[in-house]
Amino acid sequence: MKYVHDNSRHLNFALNVVCYIALISAIALGSLSDFLIVLAVYFFIGMNEQAFFHRLFSHKSWDCPKWLKAVGLHIGSLSLLGSIVPWVAVHREHHRFTDTPKDPHSPLYKSRLYIQFRSPYFDFKPQYAVDILRDNITRFYTLHYFKVILLTWISLGVLFGPYFLMLWLAGTALVILSANGINAWHHGHQIWKGQYQLHRVEDTAKNDIVLGYLHFDGWHNNHHASANKYYYGERWWEIDLCGIYIWLLVTLTGYKHSLVK
């Protein structure tokens, strides 16, 4: 069964462009309250994409009930970073071959602008996501990825109006820029003095004193040093908002025993 159509990358990129246009429009036309909505959407989608796509399905850092996995998959899919099966496969391949010619998105071998704006989560090797392919929920959200996104957008537009939908898409654009930016700018050569490494690893992953807070994978060197941990902060200033969010979810659902520390 084919899980990703040949034109999926182009359609996903077109939807990305729609979100970028919405972000530009929100900057030009929005009020302070509009910007707060955009940021709320950014945190809502970005936090769940990181918690579920990255830390739960890719690294198995924690677990939760099936209904919550379905909710997380739905929200994470709205990030427009690719559907769950390719996402996991590409990410696991990235960790296996980080910053080598086989890395799907290393800035040492690919253009940073290409990584930033052309999502890599479509060309994938299924052998890196066999466990994800076997799961009914993840198969559903992979096969119906674009339907989930478009139906959600239509529902938001009908329920809350086209202006709110524009703000939602603007928040989605921030998620895309932030998530792809981790791969583009937190590997390779240091781009500013706020980037640093606590661990000597065999790759160039770096922590970032700004994006450590603004993005949910910003303590990136820590993550590459211990990929399966649910919480990425190690120094007192390295507050991991997504790790706190995961702790709250497992506490509320009775799954604290699943946390990988």
Domain boundaries, the chain: 8-258
Query: Which of the four pLDDT bands, split at 50, 70 and 90, describes residue 211?
Result: confident
Q: How far is CA 14 from CA 17, 20, 81, 103, in A?
A: 5, 10, 12, 25
As a whole number of angstroms, the distance between CA 98 and CA 144 comes to 30
Query: Which of the four pLDDT bands, split at 50, 70 and 90, describes residue 10?
Result: confident
Average pLDDT of the segment spanning 114-140: 88
Q: Are 179 and 81 in contact (CB under 8 A)?
A: yes
Condensed to tens digits (0 to 9), the pLDDT of residues 47-73 reads 999 999 999 999 999 999 999 999 999
Q: Is the pLDDT of residue 176 over 80?
A: yes
pTM over 0.85: yes
Number of helices (H), then strands (E), in the chain = 12, 2
Tell me which DSSP letter residue 105 carries: T
DSSP β-bridge partners for residue 219: 207
Mean confidence (pLDDT) of the chain = 94
Residues 210, 215, 221: CA angle, nearest 5 degrees: 75
Q: Please choose, from the candidates 51, 72, 43, 91, the residue with its C-alpha nearest in 3D space to the C-alpha of residue 214.
A: 43
Query: Which of the four pLDDT bands, split at 50, 70 and 90, describes residue 117?
Result: confident
Q: Under 8 Å CB-to-CB from 50, ≥6 apart: which residues?
A: 179, 216, 217, 242
Tell me which DSSP letter residue 139 carries: H
Query: Which of the four pLDDT bands, split at 50, 70 and 90, describes residue 231?
Result: very high
Q: Are 50 and 216 in contact (CB under 8 A)?
A: yes
Query: Which of the four pLDDT bands, split at 50, 70 and 90, describes residue 1?
Result: very low
